[in-house]
Structure 1
Amino acid sequence: MKLLVLLSRVPYPLEKGDKLRAHHLIARLAERDRIILCCLSDGPTDPAHIEHLRKFCAHIEVIRVPRWRILLKLATAIFSRLPFQVAYFHHRSAQRIIDRVIREHRPDAVLCQLVRTTEYLRSHPTLPKTLDYMDTLSKGMERRTRNAPFYLRPLFQTETRRLIRYENLMFDLFDETVIISEQDRDLLYHPLRDRVTVIPNGVDTTHFAPQPLEKKYDLVFTGNMNYPPNIDSVLYLVRKVLPLVHAHRPGTNLLISGVDPSAEVRELARNDPRIEVSGWVKDIRHSYAAARIFIAPMQIGTGLQNKLLEAMAMGMPCITSSLANNAVRAVPGESILIGQSPKDYADHILRLLDDAAERDRLAEAGSRFVRTRFDWERSAAQLEELLARSTRRVAEAMDQPVARV
């Protein structure tokens, strides 16, 4: 099968969740399919990253969109019905390139990741199309509205309404739809949401495996540190949880590791020597392995937290929120610890720091859970089946031969 994959970002390096999911899935789909990759970029792309992607992509088209054009498009989006984040990624110049790629390569099917890229296929109604929602963006925006400054809430509310409408519209436009978790599927507003196929992320357990490094930190949090749910999580941890921990263990330290830390996050380290903000690191495994406990008290956001899967695979005892665990579905108390309040989190931290045997037990149970539940090969096989089904469905509707898969 010739498969066109349409992404809103270049899927390498893997510092963001959408890039990680796209990279692992298309690398495995490439074992059977000819991958034609089209991805958008608002900045220069490292040639080494493109060379890496050539290992499994037959053709790569990186579509550069200048930032001034993006800002202009966002300004005009005020007067349209498109969600702002769809308008951010949709441009006529990019549309022309994607149309050309479709004409030249004549793909058998298209895979779009996120509704941000789907507008490009409105003019190709007969092309077999699969949409990976990943997570429910409208619900994520709705949750962010609650914590937004009052002067931004009308904007967030508008975006929420637009996303709900657009997610439903794309459901009807695409032949197949997938999403990362049952929790996110249930948050979609479409009445036929049960038809969306759940395809979870996997975790590379040969890459994310325990490492015998010196434990320099008591706690670690990882992630894209310019992403609002991650910012909210570390602010909650530092401002509400750590003071309770420090009342009993004053020396407890925290590593916040991940790309693009916001000014608020960087300020945390300036105010307290027990907190370190590393920024981007070449190998995130070293951040995990250098800490005793992984903690992610997520209060907002949607989707599956890859950071949890990676930490559990690396043999770390993990503490998180029920919101984050709803997608993971680990058993509380058995393979993961769940906090509902600052006191809950503090109690879990103190107990684990005081009890090495309990840390080891929880770490082993978590690692075993991830190894048996989250597998990229299985997820890619599910997606391959859906892509084939989309080609059959369209071919039967048009009474044409079905593409070989």
Structure 2
Amino acid sequence: MSEVLFLAHRIPFPPDRGDKIRSCHVLRHIAGLAPVHVACFADDEGDMAHEPDLAAVAASHCLVRRSRSLKIAALEALASGKPVSLTAFADKRISAYVAKVLATRPISAIYVFSGQMAQYVPTDFAGRVVMDFVDVDSAKFESYAGQARFPLAHLYAREARLLSRFESDVARRVNASLLVTPEEAALFRQRLLPGADPAVLALGNGIDTGFFDPEGMPLAPELEGQGPHITFTGQMDYPPNIAAVELFAQAVMPQIRAVFPQARFNVVGRAPTLAVRALEGVHGTRVTGAVIDVRPWLAGADMVVAPLTIARGVQNKVLEAMAMARPVLATPEAATGIPARDGQELVVANGAEALAKAALSLLHDKVRAGTIGQSARSFVVEKCGWAGVLAPLAGLLGLAGPEGSRAAA
């Protein structure tokens, strides 16, 4: 029986952030098709505590606690001429595990989640390789470089340049390169170096609409009283999320509070940086830090916002809020890859003035806001289930499909 090697830059458990949500569902889907062996990293002891969850899915696994600091990785990368992203995830224990699994198990396919892990795929591997880039990391670092100052701007530009070459090289060697949206796939093709003509496909993100269901969901107690409540959810040490909440708290909330003096902006997510914590109390902003369950915060929101100016791929935070039947106000960047209709299943606005105007319109018209929220849930239930989204994986990996016949490669 064919088996699969699954490589991920972060343990897929718990699925409580964007990359883990995708990798967790992909891993579980592949495990339903064939035995799967997993090599991945843990960021901290919290990640390590979820090793039993990994063991319950994987036929075998190697979980390595990543200890190399970003500063050390950057110095090593500068000395070696490699991207920092690769150096930070280089580990002999992962290499040894990969070599052992390939030598002792009937591995017919390798699924690589995130570009950092492509360095572990042997150049002489004869089976199929599917590279899930998710989004275009080199383009992300280009965006960072355009907004940063020296010396960070220089380091980001270097990372973008080196990663772009690496992405092209990897795309040439694998059977399929996956990106999370058609727009991201098109951008990836445009950035490939001359001579590269690989298979580049879009494989979207889904949503667990059974878990994210507003029916019977209690509201977060903190949302009782003052309002209306406007909520942002996300990992709060991620630079695009930081920039998004700073924009909304500092430039949009004053306009909203001029009309709704008791309006609150709830920033919900773990690992808030000092810059995010400094927003506490600014124009009605509340910074929660990590919460046990994000759903009560979504259920109690009058509106959920995603004011990102840098965004790669499908924003899980948007799909989650839509599944919870909340009206979502998003920038064009945050709405990319979600084929919902502006004004019907979500609202799109660009810039502080437009965001404030759209937010006030929704807050004034609760009937319209409720209709958009219900339409949003109907949209994700119909079109964004994980089973349908991940159905192409059997064919891409050359594994037997649900009917028992071997899927076409």
User: In the alignment, is the contact (CA less than 8 A) between 1:135 and 1:302 conserved in 2?
Assistant: yes
Q: Could you list the runs of 4 or more consecutive aligned residues of structure 1 that deviate by over 6 angstroms after TM superposition?
A: 402-405
> Helix, strand or coil: the match of 1:55?
helix
Amino acid at match of 2:84: F
The 5-angstrom pairing of residues 190-269 of structure 1 reads 190=192, 195-211=199-215, 212-214=217-219, 216=224, 218-269=229-280
- In the other structure, the counterpart of 1:142 is 142
Query: Structure 1 174/81 Cα, relative in aligned 2: closer, same or farther at 3 Å?
Result: farther
Q: Larger RCO: Structure 1 or Structure 2 (Cα < 8 Å, ≥ 6 residues apart)?
A: 1
Where does structure 1 lack aligned partners over 5 or more consecutive residues? Answer: 391-401
Change (3 A) 1:271 1:320: closer
2:278 counterpart letter in structure 1: E
Question: Is the 8 Å Cα contact of residues 340 and 346 (structure 2) preserved in structure 1?
Answer: yes
Cα displacement string for residues 154-207 of structure 1 (whole angstroms, at most 9, x for unaligned residues): 111111111111111110111221111011111111266783111101100000
Note the alpha carbon deviations across 1:267-311, whole angstroms, 9 max, x for none.
101545x22111111111122112110001110121110000000
Q: Residues of 2 paired with 1:14 and 1:82: CA distance? A: 30
Deviation at 1:71, TM superposition (A): 4.7
Partner of 1:66: 67
- Quick check: 1:203–1:376 contact (8 Å CA) kept in 2? yes
Q: Does the 8 A contact of 2:14 with 2:50 survive in 1?
A: yes
Equivalent residue, structure 2, for 1:14: 15
Using the alignment, how far apart are the partners of 2:5 and 2:394 within structure 1? 13
The answer to whether the Cα contact below 8 Å between 1:114 and 1:133 also exists between their aligned partners in 2 is yes
Alignment of 1:43 onto 2:54: no
Deviation at 1:47, TM superposition (A): 6.0
Counterpart for residue 33 of structure 2? 32
| Gapped regions of structure 2 (runs ≥ 5) | 401-405
For residue 67 of structure 1, give the secondary structure of its aligned residue in structure 2: coil
The answer to whether the aligner puts 1:330 opposite 2:340 as a matched pair is yes
Q: Distance in 2 between matches of 1:364 and 1:45?
A: 36
TM norm structure 2: 0.90
1:151 positional shift = 2.8
Instruction: Tell me what 1:319 maps to.
Output: 329
1:387 to 389, 397, 408: 397
Cα distance change of structure 1 residues 161 and 48 upon mapping to structure 2, 3 Å threshold = closer
**Number of the residue aligned with 1:366:** 376
Q: Deviation per CA, 1:29-77: give whole Å up to 9, x if none.
A: 2222111111122433556522223332221210234336x65443121
1:343-379 alpha-carbon deviations (Å, 9 max, x no partner): 1111111111121101111101111111222121122
Match of 2:114 in 1: 114
Q: Deviations over 1:60-115 (max 9, x none)?
A: 210234336x6544312103342211111012343123212322324111100111
Q: Which residue of 1 aligns with 2:4?
A: 3
Partner of 1:105: 105
Percent same amino acid among aligned pairs?
27
* In 2: Cα distance, 1:351 partner to 1:317 partner: 12
Q: Distance in 1 between matches of 2:106 and 2:330?
A: 45
Equivalences, count:
392
Match of 2:310 among 290, 300, 305: 300
